[in-house]
Chains A and B, each alone.
Chain A
Amino acid sequence: MPQASLTSFDEGLVGSISASLGEPSWLTDARLEAFRQFVALPSEKSPLYTKYAKTFDIGLDRFKAAPGGSEIDFRSFFTGYLTGNESDILLQGNETQVHAELSRNVSSKGVELMSFHDALGRDEGAVRKLVEGRLVKSETDKYAAFVNAFFNCGTFVRVPKGVVLDKPLRKMLLLDSPRTPVIEQTFVVAEEEARLVYLEEQYSKGVPSPAFVASTAEILAGPNSHIDFSSIQLLDDQTTHLSNRGVGVSNDARATMSSLSLGASVSRSRTNFYLNGRGSFAEGFEIFFTDGEQRYDYETNLVHNSPDSTGSTQARGVLKGKSQSIFKGMIKIVKEAKNARSYLAHHVMILERTAKSDGIPSLEIDNNEVKATHSASVAQVDEEQLFYLTARGLPPDEAKRMVVLGFFEPVLSRVPIEQTREGARFMIEGKWEGEKRRLVDRETLLAATGELTPEVKESEDIFERHYKYR
């Protein structure tokens, strides 16, 4: 098949992507509607954040795209990235889904892990419902609209009612100088009383190239279900990254989102938690470490739509070099959400004066019988801490390393997925040493580090340590 020529992101491209993927007309129409929003919306809607829009602009105009996937031989493409012991994994090379594997034990329970378009072929009705009920709505954000209009790949995960998975489902995206941007649409669905852990990884291989990875993810926790979602972003420093997530939590369900970001040149990431059911619980962990000229624009919002809901999001980041970050976060509690509890924190450490960071937490609360609190800080490495450690014999470099890596711990140690937690430490240390690392299994980790240091666990109750009630 001859390769289609690259064009800019126009209406024609919407149609040709949809056609090349053999989509039904309702989906093409949904894309076109999203495209209209994309054209109409400014890059930043909220007046709270517009002054930062320029600094963190992802520069969409620089990219062009074309429909059609590329041929990838997954065995050679993923050489060195897999141990061979993986199961329940979906592999994607650039925009092409190349391999999905579910163990018999998992697939026999009706668990689905496949490309979005395979799911569309198998269960169009269900997929249509999901697309039409998207949490990441085109009209709320230009970049959400962008992905909804132009996605050229996607992932679909569904765990049926009552099925409890004890091992994670994984999705690995590996980039190697893609010709066209990777624009993904992901759905992760836990039906009633289901339980799943999802690990998403994004890596670049080969020589860094100006690539673009954009995605939206719909994470839907049905009544009484439990989803632990983890995302690791280790793209190379020439790649632009865009992410939009909507997490919907039903009655008595629980959803956590742990995200570690070390890569990309510019990254814009937004997560909205919608606490839609009574007794729902959501917890977000944003961990990042930037250097060079990286720019991270992070937003997390907790939207309490129902009574007795609990939400928390904690961000911790360290910035080196000339890197910059902005954290935007809002707690929104509607009138009906009596007894909601919500917590938002953003704490950043700046290692050099050339690095910059801002945090803009805000509250919008329409019910008085709630607890909501936020905290934010941007600080430099504490000289007295360094003196204390050097007075215990630690060379200055080691003292600094200990203080900086320790800074992540209060949030990192709460990440509920062991592999992500231990892997994140390993990858953050790698970045500190100037070494690229990936998420590895426990055996590999033990072989690499020799030992795992025992962990400190703080109180389980996120509100115990915070006394500022509204």
Chain B
Amino acid sequence: MKLEIKELHASVEGKEILKGVNLSVGQGETHALMGPNGSGKSTLAYTVMGHPKYQVTSGEILIDGESVVGLPPDKRVKKGLFLAFQYPVSVQGVSMFSFLRAAYNNSRPAGSESPTIFEFKEVVAEKLKLLNMDESFLNRYLNEGFSGGEKKKAEILQMALMQPKFAVLDETDSGLDIDALRVVAEGINKVSGPQMGSLLITHYQRILKYVRPQFVHVMFEGRIIESGGEELSRLLEEKGYTWIRGYREEEQAPPQVGQTL
């Protein structure tokens, strides 16, 4: 089973951001996707999940060989996709508890019976424990007034409940101090396993000390320009993204005078 992205081109408000992305994530694999600001990492995440503002102009997103392009987000969830948001929105008036319950019920295979409120309480209590989260969390409004760390933990809690086949984690490490980072990373490790493939989008190498990827990809200007093993992330950390830019320029013809880069 695989999440495959083939020659994917995508635009936001008419502007092309993804310019032919190729990537394949197998079940049980952990991939890291790195790249400088504006390289298209978050666009890839949103496009895979089906955000209405992101238009696929060509190419494919396949889960187990079936295209999900054109499917609304909730149908993609049914196919086993999950996106941990970089900036989870807050929804006033919707309790964490009822939200999690709806998410849980809607991510289960068709035909399976939804648990009662009491059964669900047990399910969620177990996951909260796994992530060292307090039960009082459930009695708050969805992401409302959450600290950066709480928001990211809440995303991982949702992943733990929904048990996706493939998870895209969009900068789950951003905005976290070192302790929170470790807790969240441990959470990711506990939730992922041989039945889940994950794509970890990050700027920095620091989370990769805790969540060890087998594959590292570097994105630049809407394409994946380099793929390798863990060593690639260390190389990036050492040399910085300017190294990537330089690396690209060697391949391309030197810019003409007056041409904007």
Contacts and interface: CB of A to CB of B under 8 A. Distances in A.
Interface of A: 382-385, 387-396, 398-399, 402-403, 405-410, 413, 451, 453-457
A453 B52 CA distance: 31
Contact of B91 (A389, A395, A454, A455): A389
B162 A388 contact: no
Nearest to B118: A451
Kindly list the 10 A-B residue pairs having the minimum CB-CB distance in the complex, ordered from nearest.
A406-B93, A409-B93, A393-B106, A393-B77, A406-B94, A392-B103, A390-B73, A393-B107, A391-B73, A390-B74
A453 to B, nearest CB: 5
B141 A456 contact: yes
A56 B178 CA distance: 58
Contact of A392 (B92, B93, B141, B162): B162
Contact of B98 (A383, A399, A402, A413): A402
Given A388-B88, A391-B76, 18 more contacts: A382-B89, A383-B52, A388-B91, A389-B91, A391-B49, A391-B50, A392-B102, A392-B107, A394-B74, A394-B103, A395-B74, A402-B94, A409-B94, A453-B95, A454-B138, A455-B95, A456-B95, A456-B139
B55 interface: no
A384 to B, nearest CB: 5
Contacts of A391: 49-50, 73-74, 76-77, 83, 85
Contact of B85 (A388, A395, A406, A407): A388
Given A391-B77, A393-B103, A403 B91 contact: yes
Interface in B75-122: 76-78, 83, 85, 88-89, 91-95, 97-99, 102-103, 106-107, 116-117
Contact of A394 (B51, B95, B102): B102
Interface in B38-62: 49-52
B158 A406 contact: no
Contact of A402 (B50, B102, B138): B102
B89 A388 contact: yes
Interface residues of B, number: 34
9 contacts: A389-B102, A391-B74, A393-B102, A398-B106, A402-B99, A405-B93, A406-B94, A456-B93, A456-B95
A403 B94 contact: yes
Nearest to B141: A456
B74 A406 contact: no
A73 B211 CA distance: 75
A396 B93 CA distance: 18
Interface of B: 49-52, 72-74, 76-78, 83, 85, 88-89, 91-95, 97-99, 102-103, 106-107, 116-117, 138-141, 158, 162
B84 to A, nearest CB: 10
A376 B92 CA distance: 16
Contacts of B141: 406, 409, 456
Given A402-B99, A453-B97, A392 B77 contact: yes
Contacts of A405: 93
A387 to B, nearest CB: 6
A469 B73 CA distance: 43
Nearest to A406: B93
Nearest to A457: B139
Contacts of A408: 93
A451 B117 contact: yes
Given A387-B51, A402-B94, A392 B89 contact: no
A205 B72 CA distance: 42
B162 A393 contact: yes
Contacts of A387: 51-52, 73
B70 to A, nearest CB: 14
Contacts of A394: 74, 102-103, 106
A405 B93 CA distance: 8
Nearest to A403: B91
Nearest to B106: A393
A390 B49 CA distance: 10
A182 B38 CA distance: 66
A34 to B, nearest CB: 42
A145 to B, nearest CB: 39
B209 to A, nearest CB: 28
B119 to A, nearest CB: 12
B72 A396 contact: yes
A382 B143 CA distance: 15
Given A391-B73, A392-B158, A384 B107 contact: no
A403 B90 CA distance: 10
Contacts of B103: 392-394
A410 B92 contact: yes
Contacts of A407: 92-93
A456 B102 contact: no
Nearest to B95: A456
A277 B217 CA distance: 70
A468 to B, nearest CB: 18
A392 B52 contact: no
